[in-house]
Chains A and B, each alone.
Chain A
Amino acid sequence: MDILYFIVQQTMFFAIPLLIVALGGMFSERSGVINIALEGIMVMGGFTSIFFIHIMQGTISGQLLLILAILVAGLTGGLFSLFHAFASINLKADQTISGTALNMFAPAFAIFTTRMIQTVQQIQFTDTFFISKVPVLGDIPVIGPLLFRNCYITTYIGIGIAIVAEIVINHTRFGLRLRACGEHPQAADSVGVNVYKIRYAGVIISGVLAGIGGLVFVVPTSTNFNATVAGYGFLALAVLIFGQWRTKRIIFAAFFFGIMKTFASAYSGIPFLKGLPISNEVYKMIPYIATLIVLTISSKSSQAPRAEGIPYDKGSR
């Protein structure tokens, strides 16, 4: 039983940031804008929020600081994503251009700024956010140790985001309009929806969530920020496509990948896997190979938004 608890707890650390960022990507892509800048936005969000924690940790600590940092991360991500929105919506440029530019800009900017301020490029922070046991809830048998022990508040925020995202995209007027802009913007425009505004909203939401995802990735896995999120932005993109741009499938995809990652990184803590004569590197490859296999079987009917990646031009037919 302890092993099961351990696996679930570990899975959360991998799956939650992927989930948050992939859901962010969903808002952008379902509005019709491909967002390969997720990686860069994550780095930017991680950078400002960890820097915020670094400065503020003398005065406040614990969950309040983390929540404030999440706000900082979200704000940064949202602002940074405006550059992507402007290039791909107003300038009607190829959406890989601004995405690549943002991905390149973010780590360079983070390292440059940090070096100018403190000579070392890593930003240190003290982890005062770890919750070894949530009061009351942590004592519930089975569910307590499964979900409410050895965790971070970010886990619940991530799950909350998933629920809200599902409601917003499938059960609100805004969600319907957003989806319309991604499928057939001309039709949406003809009934009075402002396609540009909706697409801006989609990209900004993706920026906010990716920014938060950057922080959520760094906090449980490290005690310093080194201007990288280890390719998680690209993995989130993969999870988004794997999840066929649909909330529920994205949740499934994120956890599928998270569990695979957990086996890969923590297999030595799982007795029956430890005994097998398989090298460390093979375990590391498994999540990626498994994803490829699942995709091969399941991709026949892609449900990508139809107008994805195509700039909306009012004049075109």
Chain B
Amino acid sequence: MKKKHNLLHSEGTSSFFSAIMAIAVGLLFGLVILLISNYKYAFPALITIIKGGFTDGTTGMGQVLYMATPMILTGLSVGFAFKTGLFNIGASGQFTSGAFVAVYIGIKWTFLPPSIHWIVALLGAILAGALWGMVPGILKALANVNEVIASIMMNYIGIYLVNMLIVKTIYDPLKNQTLPIAKSAVIPRGGLDKMFGVNNMNIGIFIAIVVVVIIYIILNKTTFGYELKACGLSPDASKYAGINDKRNIILSMVIAGALAGLGGGLLYLSGSGKYMQVLDILAPEGFNGISVALLGMSNPIGILFAGLFIAHIKVGGYNIQLFNYSTEIIDIIIAVIIYCGAFALMFKNLIYKLTRRNKMEKEEER
């Protein structure tokens, strides 16, 4: 009896229920939009969206895993910084700089033994992302610069710097994109490409899952993680308790940046058909990360599922083009789902009231 009571009241359960409610509302809203724009195919289209990655069997599922990988990492990046009370809007720039260094190493450092080439490239991506995240961290800790504005500036500096470096070093002028990376720099496929029938599929998703676990352990099982969360919840109290908040701000941003950078590396080292373009556009993966982090409530495990879910309905979004709907409907649905996250507090209170009433009724029966 007592165990059940704890389960119903636990943070995780109510978060899960409010997430499900939010998703239901989001899909309902999507249905309304589909009905308004073309009522004939609205229901089959909605079912296609919900089926998402499962529509095309293993190919679709592979596609979901492939798409989810970078989003999970940028989501972790934003979520990790959230835990420390920092808003890392700069995942985009960190992602781009990580991607560039990975691709650069992937093209130029062919002197490395093939077996470790891709690993070195990924490490490069992590370092570049960490460096890009460190700048706003240091500015925040030492000069009190608002991390939001510093991250926004670093996003733009990142995209222009990367464009310049691509053109100077690893440019294919005919296609306005980077040269292809060496075969040894492509992340091993581990047979997943054949298993799922998706060309780009590789062990990246497993790397992402391992990172999720590592971040979970850091946040929940270590003193360092505890200090970070304490800084996020109450900077003054943690300072009073002797926690070095400046060091923690910098480290938090460094780790957040490293995560986003790794995401960039994982995406652009997947080989066939994935090249960095020279465009003045911020990487959307970084901003998707904010959505993933919010949907996953900044919890690493939540972020993993949020990333998979968003990738899942995005694949569904590609499939509804069959019915002549535009894929943007998915972003509309995701936006509504995130917005419903604002109701989480209300949902939680509702669940709390309902469960309490049940309990009281039972006690009365007794």
Contact = CB atoms under 8 A, between A and B. Distances in A.
Interface string B273-316: 00000001010000100110010000000000000000000000
A107 B288 CA distance: 14
B157 A288 contact: yes
Interface of A is mostly: helix
A2 interface: no
A317 interface: no
A150 B265 CA distance: 46
Interface in A109-137: 109, 111-112, 115-116
B146 A108 contact: no
Interface stretch (B180-188, B191-199, B228-236, B337-345): B337-345
B150 interface: yes
Given A237-B152, A238-B152, A284-B160, A292 B139 contact: yes
Nearest to A296: B143
A96 B87 contact: yes
For this complex, into which size category does the number of interface residues on chain B fall? 35 or more
Interface in B327-357: 328-332, 334-336, 338-339, 341-346
Contact of A241 (B38, B149, B154, B341): B149
Nearest to B290: A100
B163 interface: yes
Nearest to B338: A101
B340 to A, nearest CB: 9
A281 B89 contact: no
Nearest to A86: B342
A98 B287 CA distance: 14
B33 interface: yes
B145 interface: yes
A100 B290 CA distance: 7
Interface of A: 36, 83, 87-88, 91-94, 96-98, 100-105, 107-109, 111-112, 115-116, 231, 234-235, 237-238, 241-242, 279, 281-282, 284-285, 288-289, 291-292, 295-297, 299-302, 304
30 contacts: A87-B342, A91-B343, A91-B346, A93-B341, A93-B342, A93-B343, A93-B344, A94-B342, A101-B336, A101-B342, A102-B335, A104-B287, A104-B338, A105-B331, A105-B335, A105-B339, A107-B328, A108-B335, A109-B328, A112-B328, A231-B152, A234-B152, A235-B152, A237-B149, A284-B156, A288-B156, A295-B146, A299-B143, A300-B144, A302-B144
Given A97-B294, A235-B152, A289-B153, 4 more contacts: A91-B346, A92-B345, A279-B164, A288-B156
